[in-house]
Structure 1
Amino acid sequence: MSTLASKLKELEELTSNAKKIQDDMLEEILKANANTEYLRRFLHGSSDKKLFQKNVPVSSYEDVKPYIERVANGEPSYIISGEPITNFLLSTGTSGGKPKIYPTNNKYFEDFAFFLALSSAIISKYVDGVQEGKMIMFLNTIMLSTTPSGLDLAPATTSYAMSDYFKKQPSKCYTSPDEVILCVDSKQSMYCHLLCGLVQREEVVSMASSFASTLVQAISFLETHWKELCANIRSGHVSEWITDLSCRESVSAILGGPNLDLANLIERECIQKSWEGIITRLWPNIKYIRSISTGQMSQHIPTLEFYSNNLHLFSPYYAASETFFGVNVNPLCKPQDISYTFVPNMSYFEFLLVDEGINEEIVDLVDVKIGCYYEPLVTNHFGLYRYKMGDILQVTGFYNSAPQFKFVRRKNAVISVQVETTTEEDLLKALNHAAHVLESSGLMLMGFTCYSDISTNPGHYVLYWELKAKKTNGIVKLDNKVMVECCCVVEDSFNVIYKTLRSKSGQIGPLEIRVVQQGTFDSLMEYFISKGASASQYKAPVCINSPAVLAILEDKVLARFFSDKSPPV
């Protein structure tokens, strides 16, 4: 049996026996961890499931942070984990504020490799020929740091790329050599990824990154640097500013020597007035794009569809630094219909029902109900017990006995100035409506964030938008009528409480859109990278309250527009 077929068979077995695998998973975790300092006070050494559910409290990061920090500072792993802690994973800190650190060991990287192989098997089942070609993978690393006790501390993608599990992958599946992926300079890495991908354009069958935002950034980078890339291909020499020696040498070997025909071909495509379909024009054999495009990443779907001539977007899995959750078993579905089938051998999963009328009802993985909304609780091997993820998911169905979930929003990503709460889901829905208005002016939304401005009376919502013309080098012309209409369309998409406070009582002021210079969201990313975030895992914050981040945005504001009418209730 081929590796791909065996992975698909394994998926069937796992999802068909979800209840037993979950019970066995909890028993395995508790037997290893019941005598840790954290769990002993609740379980007194027992591995009984009922006692666990009765006595162990639901936890947040603030609850486990003191224990995690003690291990990071050199105290024994058994404070929180019966298994040795060998690494710490660093979250980016862009979703919920400050970066968090999570203890782990090689099992996490084993699971990482399993999920990559599983998603590869799933797409291969539906799309022919993807195993024969190569993938342009926009993956890079950051400099490893260490905890006070000397253990490695890095984002999950960096830690995985430096692990033995990454090295065991087929070396020829990516257009870029390992030296480019391991380059810690994100600009040099991006340039070399594109150069390698262009040189091997005929072999490319897919393009990938962790998040959709990285792919949009890659195309913007290409738009800025294509002339230089063509010059490199024409001369057979890599630009002098690529100073990472191992990266330079490996890319030079792929470049091979001068290639005038290829340079001229790329130039002919890039010099055109519109970059619509540029991905399929430069990489004619590409079959799909693989990247997370759910949640806040859904804002980039229209842009990627424009650049790729509506090439299929495959959102492969739902994962986090805490654990791996589920895979997309229907890779050809529309982006808005993506659900993730939970894989029961990753961690022990419970679900907190999100319903104001029910008090903290918690159910097992196989007992969730279709249509209901839940927040997942994670119990893993490394020290998280009934840990609240802060994500809101909706059950859409079952695959065998394993439930399928649609990612709805981050629980804490809300904006509010009064008693109303506008969620991430509300904002993304509103942006989708406004995008249709922008389209009439030949504009695309390249990035957004928002905050509650309560310095005014009444307070109001501020949305920062970075816009781009669909035509190459096109000037972004801001039509006041169009932009004011965008403000109104956004407000009209919000819930009835917002509209009532805005229209009838005047407790919320007119919504404001502040258009910022092109490249502003790149500057935002550079700021977070300077604070330790990874370019591969970076997600622009949906809502902000950091004075430093606001200062970056305010410095780039080109124009301000306000809603000129109250939304109908």
Structure 2
Amino acid sequence: MKYVLLSSAFLAVSAVITSYIFFVMNHDFAPISIFKIVFVGFAAGVSCTLGLVFLFISTQPVSRHFDAKRAFIHFLLEYGLRLYGKRRKARFDVSCERPRETQEILLQTFLKAQGKQPTFEKITSRSKSEGGIDITSLSYLPKGIPIYVLSFNGSEGLYGVNLDPFSTSAEFVALINCCVFEFIPEENISESNPDTLFIDEVEVGKKYEMVITGESGLYRYRVGDVVEITGYYHKTPKINLSTGIYITYGIGTLLNMVGEKVSSDVVRNAVRDAVSMNYPDVRLVYQAVAESNITIELSLDGLSEVKSKGSHYIFFLELEETSRDLLSEFNTKVIAESIDNNLYSRHRFYQNFKDTKQIHPSTVYIVHPGAFYKLRDYVIANSTATANQFKMLEKLRTEGTFELMFKNRIIE
């Protein structure tokens, strides 16, 4: 209760301060360069609030997140926008619900109404393993704006920094002064107490699960991220411990019904390519997959067909709202077949189990807009995760998460 009261008090104070800044100090919004850097990511509402404040009034570079619940932003800015709307005879809806809406925030607010064009120098993000920002999802932004991933980090520590930020493939030099790194070879990950390698013992081209010992007390902690070693920075003896790391997948996202062990990066690319190949005008926002054995104990309307198919994957896709008018042409069976074909051509174990009919054809559902944010709220409410630690799920591992997404499907 104490934390709830403190949070409420903070929101109230923030609303007053924000409104004051908007309408007392800077109500005319001088025609300045709004900001030079946009930092997008999954973070708590406070970050979004600060980002919006700077968006409208600051001449300094902004490095804040743009992600929070729509209701929070409406609560914070409703009073101010209502007043401003009366002055300008217009109403503007401010939303920070998703990183992709950064552009909409800039172009649909009163900045555009006054004929001011915000300027960017770059867009940056931090990588947070399998649930982090997909930098390719921002490719719709104006051409010529550099987009890069700045660092690789998690709640447990800062793991690496990207020294070649404008490369198309993000590689991170391990920060050995922040963590002690150990690595478990990919083939030994399933063992309960596997042997580990130190950072000078890893081999280029191989994949390992990271184990870290950090400054804050974590001792030999299995992070759960599987990384690929891609090279050495300068390859000199003095810094040969600084190893290039490319994040591939998290152990918890592996699909493994019958021993196939398909990683999330393979699944992710198979789905995206299936959508873009068949429907190039449709933009995929989020995707999640579940193994059909999760439905065994569930009793839901419309689930009988899924249960009768045998072991298979169940995909939930959310499309960009601007693509909703294309839904009538969007054939989920075509997408399911295309996903299966992509997986078949990219993963030899999936191929083997598909040939022996141990894995059956996939099922694809389109979900209502906002379904994945309901999923986020559900996970935060039913776990120890906090909003700024949350990573959007790519695999549904509990009956509760599956049921939520199944109930949010669009029934054809």
TM-score (norm 2): 0.69
Q: Quick one: structure 1 residues 204 and 462, their matched pair in 2 at CA, closer, same or farther if it must change by over 3 Å? A: farther
Structure 1 segment 417-566 matched on structure 2, within 5 A: 417-437=257-277, 439-440=279-280, 442-454=281-293, 455=296, 456=307, 457-470=309-322, 474-481=324-331, 483-494=332-343, 495-502=347-354, 504-531=355-382, 532-559=384-411
Per the alignment, residue 203 of structure 1 pairs with: 59
Paired letter, 2:254: V
The whole-number CA distance in structure 1 between the counterparts of 2:103 and 2:275 is: 19
**CA shift digits 1:139-161 (9 cap, x unpaired):** 865xxxxxxxxxxxxxxxxxxxx
The whole-number CA distance in structure 2 between the counterparts of 1:437 and 1:551 is: 29
**How far did residue 343 of structure 1 move?**
1.2
Per the alignment, residue 185 of structure 2 pairs with: 353
The whole-number CA distance in structure 2 between the counterparts of 1:347 and 1:339 is: 18
Per the alignment, residue 368 of structure 1 pairs with: 202
Q: Confirm whether residue 403 of structure 1 aligns to residue 246 of structure 2.
A: no
**How far did residue 133 of structure 1 move?**
5.3
Q: Quick one: structure 1 residues 437 and 134, their matched pair in 2 at CA, closer, same or farther if it must change by over 3 Å? A: closer
Per the alignment, residue 7 of structure 2 pairs with: none
The DSSP-based 3-state class of the residue aligned with 1:332 is: coil
Paired letter, 1:203: T
The whole-number CA distance in structure 2 between the counterparts of 1:207 and 1:487 is: 39
Answer yes or no: is the 8 Å Cα contact 1:350–1:364 preserved in 2: yes
**CA shift digits 1:197-223 (9 cap, x unpaired):** 4423x73755543xxxxx5x56x959x
The whole-number CA distance in structure 2 between the counterparts of 1:134 and 1:288 is: 5
Per the alignment, residue 340 of structure 1 pairs with: 172
Structure 1 segment 371-390 matched on structure 2, within 5 A: 371-390=205-224
**CA shift digits 1:340-389 (9 cap, x unpaired):** 111111122122222469x9553322332221212222223444333322
Answer yes or no: is the 8 Å Cα contact 1:138–1:536 preserved in 2: no
Q: Quick one: structure 1 residues 203 and 138, their matched pair in 2 at CA, closer, same or farther if it must change by over 3 Å? A: farther
Answer yes or no: is the 8 Å Cα contact 1:136–1:197 preserved in 2: no
Q: Quick one: structure 1 residues 138 and 467, their matched pair in 2 at CA, closer, same or farther if it must change by over 3 Å? A: closer
Paired letter, 1:548: G
Per the alignment, residue 252 of structure 1 pairs with: none
**How far did residue 195 of structure 1 move?**
4.4
Structure 1 segment 77-96 matched on structure 2, within 5 A: none
The DSSP-based 3-state class of the residue aligned with 1:436 is: helix
The whole-number CA distance in structure 1 between the counterparts of 2:179 and 2:203 is: 20
Paired letter, 1:498: Y
The DSSP-based 3-state class of the residue aligned with 2:266 is: helix
**How far did residue 225 of structure 1 move?**
7.9
Per the alignment, residue 165 of structure 2 pairs with: 331
**How far did residue 497 of structure 1 move?**
2.4
Gaps of 5+ in 2: 1-32, 94-100, 297-306
Per the alignment, residue 80 of structure 1 pairs with: none
Paired letter, 2:203: K
**How far did residue 537 of structure 1 move?**
2.5
Paired letter, 2:290: Y
**RMSD, aligned CA:** 3.9
Q: Quick one: structure 1 residues 493 and 413, their matched pair in 2 at CA, closer, same or farther if it must change by over 3 Å? A: same
Answer yes or no: is the 8 Å Cα contact 1:276–1:309 preserved in 2: no
Paired letter, 2:336: C
Paired letter, 1:462: I
TM-score (norm 1): 0.52
Q: Quick one: structure 1 residues 276 and 542, their matched pair in 2 at CA, closer, same or farther if it must change by over 3 Å? A: closer
Per the alignment, residue 393 of structure 1 pairs with: 227
Gaps of 5+ in 1: 1-129, 142-179, 182-188, 210-214, 238-257, 268-274, 561-569
The whole-number CA distance in structure 1 between the counterparts of 2:143 and 2:102 is: 7
Q: Quick one: structure 1 residues 432 and 293, their matched pair in 2 at CA, closer, same or farther if it must change by over 3 Å? A: farther
Q: Quick one: structure 1 residues 553 and 280, their matched pair in 2 at CA, closer, same or farther if it must change by over 3 Å? A: same
Q: Confirm whether residue 235 of structure 1 aligns to residue 83 of structure 2.
A: yes
**How far did residue 486 of structure 1 move?**
1.8
**How far did residue 307 of structure 1 move?**
4.5
Paired letter, 1:479: E
The whole-number CA distance in structure 2 between the counterparts of 1:411 and 1:313 is: 28
Structure 1 segment 123-202 matched on structure 2, within 5 A: 181=46, 190=48, 192-193=49-50, 195-200=52-57
**How far did residue 230 of structure 1 move?**
9.4
Paired letter, 1:534: T
Number of residues of Structure 1 aligned to a counterpart in Structure 2:
338
Paired letter, 1:395: I
**Bigger radius of gyration:** 1
